[in-house]
Amino acid sequence: MMMLRNIKNIALLVLMMVCSAGYAQQFAHTTGNIAGLGNGWVKFSYELDDTLYQDSVTTKNGLFSKKMRVVESVLCTLSNSVNQQIRIFILEPAEIKFNGEVTKFYNLEIDAGKENKLYQQYQKSSGAIIGQKPSPTGDEAMDKKLKTSFSAGLKVLRDSLANDFVKKNPNSVVSAITIFNRYVTYPDRNRADILYQSLSPQIKKGEYGRRIKTFIDAQGNTSAGAMAPGFSLADANGKMVSLNDFKGKYVLVDFWASWCGPCRLENPNLIKAYQKFNGKGFTIVGLSMDSSKENWLKAVEQDKLSWVQLNDPKTTNGKVAELYGVKSLPASFLVDPAGKIVAKNLRGKDLEKQLDSIFNK
C-alpha cells in the first residue's frame, strides 16, 4: 500500500513538473539595462493574425523587466520614450535580455533563445553580402550594364544565403520570416513555394507560414473561373462592407491608392465604364491601400469617384491584399454575379470592351 502511494505521489509530481514546464514556455521574460533611457518606458509591438498587439513597461534608471505571454514566436519591435529608434527582435518563450545605450537603441545587444540567435545570425550574414559597387565609367550605357550585372550577382548571393538558411533550419520561425521578407514582400511565388515546402509542419501552421501559403495560393485563387475570395472592409464612416453585398452584379474590385500615379491615371477610364454600365448591373468597389485616411478621401474627392470606397490602412500587407496576391498597384478583378472572377487587371479600354461583350451581346 505504501509503495502504491509513493508511486502515485511520484506520478503526480512528474505531472506537475510537466504542466509547470509547459506553462513556463508560454512566456517571454524580458529584461533591459539601457543607459540614458532614465525613467521612461519601452513598448513592444507585434502583429498576429492581422491584429496589432502592444504592451509597455516603465523603466527606472534605464532598467526594466516584463513578462509577456507568447502564443507563438513572432517578429517584434521594441521602441522607447526618448527617441524614435527601434530594435527588431523575435519575441519567443525564453529569457530575453537587452543591453546598450538609448542613443544606439537600434543596435542594442540581445541575449535570448534559439530564434533570436538564428535571427541575428541571418541578419549578420545578409549584411555581409554587400560587395563593391561598380565605379562610374562616364559611359551611360556601360554604367547601366555594370549596375545591372552587379545587382544580379548580389541577388544570386542573397538567394543562395536564404536557400541554405531555410534548408538548414526548417523548424525555425526565422526561416518562415526569411521567406516572407524575401519572396512575399518582393513577390517571387516560385521561390516562395520551393522554400515553403522545406518548412516543418509546425512552422507552416504558424503566422508567417500561413501568410506565405496564402501568397502562394493567391495566384490560383484569383484566376479566371475561380470564386473571388470574400472580404469585409470599412468605408469612410466605419461601416463594414462585404463583397457578398454585391452578389447579383458584375463588380470590379479595384485596388488603388492616392499615392499611386498609374492608379490615378486609370480613374477616368473607370469613371467612363461606371457611367456607361452602372445602370445595366455593373459597379465598382474601390479598395484603397492608403495608410492615411485624409489622403485617401482627398483623392476620392479630387478624382470624383462615386462608387463604394473601402480602405485597408495596412496597404498591401493587409489581409485582403494578401488574399488576392496584390503586391503592386493598380490591380483589379472583375467578378460576375455568381461571385466568380471573369478577368483581372483590365486597363484602358479593355474594361469597357469586356463589359460591352457582357452587356451588349
- CA–CA distances in Å: residue 331 to residues 28, 197, 218, 232, 253: 41, 28, 13, 18, 8
Of 19, 76, 260, 263, which is the active-site residue?
A: 263
> Annotated catalytic, 260?
no
Structure-block grid coordinates of residue 28: 517571454
What is the spatial distance between Cα 98 and Cα 33, in angstroms, rounded to a whole number?
Answer: 6
What is the spatial distance between Cα 227 and Cα 341, in angstroms, rounded to a whole number?
Answer: 6
Q: How many CB atoms lie within 10 A of CB 176?
A: 26
Residue type (1 letter), 70: V
Q: What is the CA radius of gyration of the chain?
A: 26
Contact in structure between 342 and 336 (CB atoms under 8 Å): yes
What is the spatial distance between Cα 18 and Cα 71, in angstroms, rounded to a whole number?
Answer: 18
Report, as residue numbers or ranges, the catalytic residues: 263
